[in-house]
Amino acid sequence: MKKKLHNLTLLVFTLICFTSFGQNNIEDVIYLKNGSIVRGIIIEQVPNQSIKLQTKDRNVFVFKYDEIEKMTKENLPVNNSNFSNNLTDFKKSGYINITEINVCPGVGDVKADNYKFKNDDYSFGFRTVNGYQLNEHFSLGFGIGIDKYKNTTFLPITFDGRATILKGKISPVFTANIGYAVGLNDIKGGLTFNPQIGIKTYISKNVAYLFNVGYKIQTQNWEIQITDNSGQNLGTLSSTVYYNFISVSTGFAF
């Protein structure tokens, strides 16, 4: 009699399971007498004999009635693997590579001794930074790249520091690059400095997309030959010229 009552209870519960099958946030849970717990959807029931359950990864299990301790319907567990909500999924420390492309239109005037002219120069560039992410907020590294201007090309070698303000998928980022741009094409280079502010967005656990806007200062050492009215060379005048640019860069951090 006790066994029949147990089987009847399981049958009634199974019918209830099928009735509420359409509730997407509910799953069937079978507790076995051996201590195991199996979650999924009951897809077949043979009265007084067996129950067939399919798990979310589409595996199918068959249990005899005498193996089952109890059955319930429970809410689906919260999916903490969703990286947009889980702050601990993202890279916190270790080696980091940042690869970016940039465009820098000139702004303002250029002054060299008594000369002054409008800065209509511009550059397209590429930079890669190898460094170390200290924690979720700070990274340090050294970068090298190529900046192609209208009439010359520079090879900037810079120190790169970045501060990520927030934890999580999206955060504002402050960036500062400072170093020396080596002039190519027989042009002498000079100091380069580029502070930026932007957005960092993780597209996977270890890869983030970057977009930055900033202000770039590029110096260049000029040497001007001084001659008199007859054309005789009187010497060379050296001068440091400051070029100002708006910088826009985009890339990825790995």
Q: What is the DSSP string of the chain?
A: -HHHHHHHHHHHHHHHHHHTTT-TTEEEEEEETTS-EEEEEEEEEETTTEEEEE-TTS-EEEEEGGGEEEEEEEEPPP-TT-TTT-GGGS--SEEEEEEEEEEEEEESEEEETTEEEE---EEEEEEEEEEEE-SSSEEEEEEEEEEEESS-EEEEEEEEEEEE-SSSSEEEEEEEEEEEEEE-TT---EEEEEEEEEEEEESSSS-EEEEEEEEEEEEEEEEEEEE-TT--EEEEEEEEEEEEEEEEEEEEE-
Q: pLDDT at position 93, please?
A: 87
User: Which CATH number characterizes residue 55's domain?
Assistant: 2.30.30.100
Q: Is residue 82 part of a domain?
A: no
Q: What global pTM score does this model have?
A: 0.61
pLDDT of res. 6:
52
| Two structure tokens written together for 154 | 């520079």
**Residue 181 included in any domain:** yes
Residue 80 falls inside a structural domain: no
Number of domains the chain is built from: 2
Same domain, 110 and 172: yes
Choosing from 46, 75, 104, the residue where a domain stops is: 75
Domain residue limits at 179 = 88-253
Examine residue 108 and state whether it is found in any structural domain, yes or no: yes
Question: In this structure, are 192 and 136 located in the same domain?
Answer: yes
Instruction: Give 10-residue mean pLDDT values along the chain (254 residues).
Output: 52 49 71 90 89 89 91 73 51 92 95 80 96 94 96 94 92 96 86 97 92 96 67 69 95 95
CATH of the domain at 208: 2.40.160.20
Rounded to whole angstroms, how far apart are CA atoms 229 and 220?
28
pLDDT at 48: 84
Do 65 and 130 belong to one domain?
Answer: no
Indicate whether 58 and 148 sit together in one domain. no
* Same-domain check for residues 60 and 143: no
User: What is the C-alpha separation between 230 and 197, in angstroms, rounded?
Assistant: 53
d(CA 45, CA 223): 92
Reading phi first (left if > 0) and then psi (alpha if -120 to 50, else beta), residue 17 is in alpha
Is 128 in the same domain as 39? no
Same domain, 100 and 125: yes
Question: Which of 42, 75, 108 represents a domain boundary (last residue)?
Answer: 75
